[in-house]
């Protein structure tokens, strides 16, 4: 193995360790993060955790008492959905600071990312590096 390739591996390993620590810090921050949304009518307030799970629901006023069932249900659904969207946006922002630019973070969070394609792209990038073993370059 050439010295330059060995140095590249060492640098990549050090970068991997830094990335792993940064991601671990994001995960720790996530465990403490909540999002609170109050409906425009002030009839209810919802709290969700970083993953969008409902953790609290309160009725700060008595406005809900005069609402018809379907109206209250629609308000609950919309307010919870808004809180989940905000939590998802905050999570994406947190991860964008530690993941490579261009990583489809929102797709990953929504479960719509093609992970096989992402892995294939990463392998292709490594293989295409000058001096990579087996490439005949370098």
Q: Candidates 3.90.1300.10, 3.40.50.2000, 3.30.1310.10, 1.20.120.420; correct CATH number of 3-100?
A: 3.30.1310.10
The C-alpha atoms of residue 13 and residue 72 are separated, in whole angstroms, by 54
Locate the domains of the chain by residue range: 3-100
Q: Whole-prediction pTM value?
A: 0.67
pLDDT band at 136; cut points 50, 70, 90: low
Q: Contact at 8 Å (CB) between 49 and 34?
A: yes
For the stretch 45-102, pLDDT in tens is 999 998 899 999 999 999 999 999 999 999 999 999 999 999 988 888 887 877 777 7
């Amino acid at each position: 193995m050439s010295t330059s390739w060995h140095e590249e591996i060492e640098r990549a390993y050090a970068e991997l360790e830094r990335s792993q620590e940064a991601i671990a810090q994001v995960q720790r921050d996530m465990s403490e993060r909540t999002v609170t949304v109050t409906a425009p009518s002030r009839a209810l307030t919802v709290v969700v955790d970083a993953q969008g799970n409902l953790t609290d629901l309160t009725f700060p006023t008595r406005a809900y008492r005069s609402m018809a069932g379907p109206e209250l249900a629609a308000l609950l659904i919309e307010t919870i959905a808004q809180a989940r969207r905000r939590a998802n946006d905050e999570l994406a922002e947190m991860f964008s600071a530690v993941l490579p630019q261009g990583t489809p973070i929102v797709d990953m969070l929504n479960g719509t990312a093609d992970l096989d394609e992402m892995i294939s792209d990463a392998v292709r990038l490594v293989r295409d590096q000058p001096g990579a073993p087996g490439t005949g370059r370098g």
